[in-house]
Structure 1
Amino acid sequence: MRLRTVLATTSAAVAAATCLTAATPADAGENHACSPSVAIERFSDALDKTTYDGTFVGNLSALAVDRDGSLAALSDRSALFDLDARTLAPRSVVPLADERGTALDSEGLAIDRDGTRLITSETEPSIRRYSAEGHLLGRLPVPDALKVAPAGRAVSNGTFEGLTLLPGGRTLLASMEYPLSGDSSTIVRFQTWQRHGKTFELGAQYAYRTDTGLGVPEVQALPDGRLLVLERGFTSGVGNTVRLYLADPRRATDTGGIENLTGQDGVRLIGKTLLTDIADCPTLGATAKQPQPNPLLDNIEGMTVTGRGKGGLKVLLVSDDNQNAVQTTRLYHLRVRV
């Protein structure tokens, strides 16, 4: 979701790959803990306000690990980048379009086991299937209630932001960013689809309660069926709030047949546990172009699990700079214990 749309006035050539590990503290023994569960290893601003093959490298809303270990990075301006997993340097970019050739408001990304790209667009909302070359292969059904008003009860720019495949690849889950009209102001819906052959059919739906004033820009499945959930908000003159939660949908009520979720209707919500508030991370020398509770913060919108190490899961976050001169495309390397 584009929280703000002031256009940047500068654009640089793509940064050299050797610069992509910038901003790591010189003292390797420094405490990088954000909380008992999360530590930040390093961050990089090297992609900020750069271009690749004539395409602006920014507006990044989602990340995913491809089958060859490289990273896919989705721009909400209808472009999909392939990044080198080690240097994060762009290696290719493909444009995306809908059935009529119109650009997407592309927000969520998952890569299927056959290499198919599953990509959400907030406009309708929709989930479409694309080849690695960007060719449109098909489209998934969406419940009427989740469509943007007047077709449904969703608010504009508040629909499918997060997308992930659960363990085994048979269940796809998309997270709404904001509540439907008629639902509680802090309850958002997570919709699932079940694999049938090469496509997916509608499955169960669950309810998740956000912190007051925050939405859900991203969700990622863990090997045991739990989820990492990002919650995010922005306050003018103060900056961003970004929190990382561990969530468990496995015993939650199927809310697909419930019209209004009030929070007092006997529905069992997705359970959640705070892992960290990113504002509590060490700054690592980061600077911000606008007021922030911590200069490390920006409009963090994308997340993927890149592997497992000694300190837990390796998690990569990315911020969406909205092509805005006072925002930054920043990549964050975290270690997360769950």
Structure 2
Amino acid sequence: MNALPDPKRSAAVVVGVGEYTRMPELPAVKENRERLKAVLTDPEIWGLPEGRFHEVPDPMHAADLIDPVIEAAQQARDTLIVYYAGHGFIDHKGELFLTLPESRNRRRHTAVPYDWLRQAILEHSGAERRVVILDCCYSGRALEGMSDPAAELPAAAGINGSYLLTSAAENVQALSPRGEDCTAFTGELTRVLREGIPDGEEFLTLDAVYGRVLHALRDKGRPEPQEQDRGQIGRLPFVRNRAEGPPPPPPRRRQGTVLGVATATLLAAVAVPVTWKLTTGDDRGYGGPCSERVSLLGFSDRLDKTEYHGEPVSGLSSLAPRGGSRLLALSDTASPRLYELSAKARGKPEPHILDSTLLRRKDGTAYSGEDFDAEAMVTEDGGRTVLVASESGPSISRFDVGSGRLVTGFPVPERFRIAPDGDGQRSESFESMALSPDGRYLYVGIESPLSGDGSRQGRAPVRILRYKGKPGGDYVPDRQFAYLTGSGLRLADLVATGEDGVLLALERGYAEGQGNAVRMHRVSLRDLPDVAGEESLAEAPQEAFARKRTLFDLAECPDSGARSPQKQSNPLLDNVEGAALGPRLTEGDDKGRRLLYLVSDDNDSAMQVTRFYALAVDPD
């Protein structure tokens, strides 16, 4: 199994649907089929012989699609490749459907359930390796089915493993760019197979191909592919590398395979000098550069699965400063709490809980968990009061930190209320907050688009609501700004930088079998139009959206000895939801940069970690 797959004992079936009567046509799919045939049958790449490549153009019925897959599955003993390109949709149960020329969107009886394709492979394939490639909207939904152990073939069938490669995440539409011969994903896939990888090994592995396609699409801001490998066949030789050369030197730092979003919450600058040693959370190594403008200083899992005064510590979803090296952390559990943390000890991030306060209604009674879902927080008056955003409702409220009691609330525009009262999505509304240093402007970001705002080539057009007021006083809605997330990502938090109209935006995502994605951007809202009167952002001009520059991708920081209970592109990653920007560092290699704290929400799950991070960033 360490040699190139034997083409004479393999088979491939390429299904492409481009001609539709009731859905938009996809002319690029025809070129997809032709290019895949060219690369898979090219003797310099693989050399699949005639009779073992099955092309299925525009199948009219389910049997026209499934029968060639069964034939190829029965034929292949070494490697089976099954490819589908066309429109895809998901039904109300979240099931993925592959369309036919006569299909209608969300009409299940007109399309083919992906599960039929999967079962055809599972029931009829005796191949040692199975490779499934899906280029359609929401194709990442297939990852769930392939990860079900009950769906695996019996061991007696001699199956070594399966590899699933999808063009987009489960909640993202695929892309067929105008003016390009192929769809975005298949165009990059066939280019890598045709051209090879310079300075690579003699053979390309599926992992190497996936990594090169991922980075190419990421650089273009296009939907990012996903992969799932059962049996580690992604590490085995797949095709010949036409650009073979001497192997490259070892990378300086680990490169991530999934993009993600870190959650950023506001932090006003505190004029306290900080000295920081480059040590990791467990002393097994040093931090290092994440990008040209950011370094990882360290991390700590000290708060993971701990208790404070007999109560479990979990669900930390937001951070905010309270002066010096102290922070407030907010939990989004059914009984929301504020934790006061000492953020720095012995030169590395080792947060200690100093106190906790249960948030309560005005009459002192506790929230039920149904009427309040705390997700974001900013501090006022040196940390004596906090403003908290809840996804339930949603709502924005002021609490007294000492007693934990509700002081007052602020109006929420009707459209932001949760459906059916408004256009907000349940559990995906108010997720992030930032307060300008002078207290005049409060920024509140929603996690996912309002209904009607749609999607832009897999990227989410969301709104940032600006309130105007004064510290300790009332805040009223003032303007709305448009913000466009990365492909498959959600806006998780906002952080004030101290510069008027400039924020840090934390985006995060999760893909089954891939893990978390966490990315931070510098965002400018200056001179943007007010989109409060816009019914939809789906067709808004590009200049209407906030300008942003990526500061770092947490997957590209050194792992520094971190461990993760679930699969991650970098074990340092987890479900990061909170961030706070601190003072400038006064010593060391990162002198002049700002201290940035991050925290992850473990969702009270054994498969996630409450992790505290410290980074040095240059947000200017």
How far did 1:101 drift?
4.0
Shift in alpha-carbon separation, 1:228–1:266, aligned structure 2, 3 A = closer
Deviations 1:23-55 (A, max 9, x none): 2444xxx56001111110000001000010122
Structure 1 CA distance for aligned equivalents of residues 606 and 597 of structure 2: 23
Aligned to 2:527: 251
1:209 correspondence with 2:490: no
Contact 2:461/2:483 (CA < 8 Å) preserved in 1?
A: yes
How far did 1:98 drift?
4.0
Deviations 1:237-270 (A, max 9, x none): 1100111111001121111121211143476211
Structure 2 CA distance for aligned equivalents of residues 68 and 132 of structure 1: 17
Q: Which has the higher contact order (CA 8 A, sep 6+)?
A: 1
Contact 2:280/2:297 (CA < 8 Å) preserved in 1?
A: no
Aligned to 1:168: 438
Q: Which moved more, 1:58-67 or 1:192-201?
A: 192-201
After superposition, residues 1-338 of structure 1 pair within 5 angstroms as 22-26=281-285, 32-67=288-323, 69-77=325-333, 78-87=336-345, 88-98=351-361, 101-103=366-368, 104-113=372-381, 115-133=384-402, 134-185=404-455, 186-196=460-470, 198-225=473-500, 226-265=502-541, 268-309=544-585, 310-338=591-619
Answer 1 or 2: which has greater strand percent. 1
The alignment partner of 1:145 has SS state of: helix
User: Letter of the aligned partner of 2:326 in structure 1?
Assistant: S
User: Letter of the aligned partner of 2:475 in structure 1?
Assistant: F
Q: With structure 1 as the length reference, what TM-score do the two structures score?
A: 0.89
The number of residues matched between the two structures is 316
Structure 2 CA distance for aligned equivalents of residues 279 and 263 of structure 1: 32
Contact 1:251/1:270 (CA < 8 Å) preserved in 2?
A: no
Q: Structure 1: 5+ residue runs without aligned partners? A: 1-19
How far did 1:59 drift?
0.5
Contact 1:238/1:291 (CA < 8 Å) preserved in 2?
A: yes
Contact 2:464/2:482 (CA < 8 Å) preserved in 1?
A: yes
Q: Which moved more, 1:246-255 or 1:194-203?
A: 194-203
How far did 1:307 drift?
1.3
Structure 2 CA distance for aligned equivalents of residues 317 and 48 of structure 1: 14
Aligned to 1:14: none
User: Letter of the aligned partner of 2:381 in structure 1?
Assistant: R
Aligned to 1:7: none
Structure 2 CA distance for aligned equivalents of residues 64 and 245 of structure 1: 18
Shift in alpha-carbon separation, 1:216–1:141, aligned structure 2, 3 A = same
Contact 1:61/1:319 (CA < 8 Å) preserved in 2?
A: yes
Shift in alpha-carbon separation, 1:24–1:190, aligned structure 2, 3 A = farther
The alignment partner of 2:338 has SS state of: strand
State, as a whole percentage, how many aligned pairs show the same letter: 38
Deviations 1:88-118 (A, max 9, x none): 2111111113457424211000001262110
Aligned to 2:29: none
User: Letter of the aligned partner of 1:90 in structure 2?
Assistant: I
The alignment partner of 1:210 has SS state of: strand
Structure with max Cα Rg:
2
Q: CA RMSD in A?
A: 1.8
Structure 1 CA distance for aligned equivalents of residues 281 and 485 of structure 2: 33
Contact 2:564/2:571 (CA < 8 Å) preserved in 1?
A: yes
Structure 1 CA distance for aligned equivalents of residues 302 and 281 of structure 2: 7
Deviations 1:280-331 (A, max 9, x none): 1100000110000100000000000121111511000000000000100001
Shift in alpha-carbon separation, 1:215–1:251, aligned structure 2, 3 A = same
Shift in alpha-carbon separation, 1:42–1:69, aligned structure 2, 3 A = closer
Structure 2 CA distance for aligned equivalents of residues 326 and 57 of structure 1: 15
Contact 2:508/2:518 (CA < 8 Å) preserved in 1?
A: yes
Shift in alpha-carbon separation, 1:266–1:62, aligned structure 2, 3 A = closer
Q: Structure 2: 5+ residue runs without aligned partners? A: 1-278, 346-350, 586-590
Answer 1 or 2: which has greater helix percent. 2
The alignment partner of 2:381 has SS state of: coil
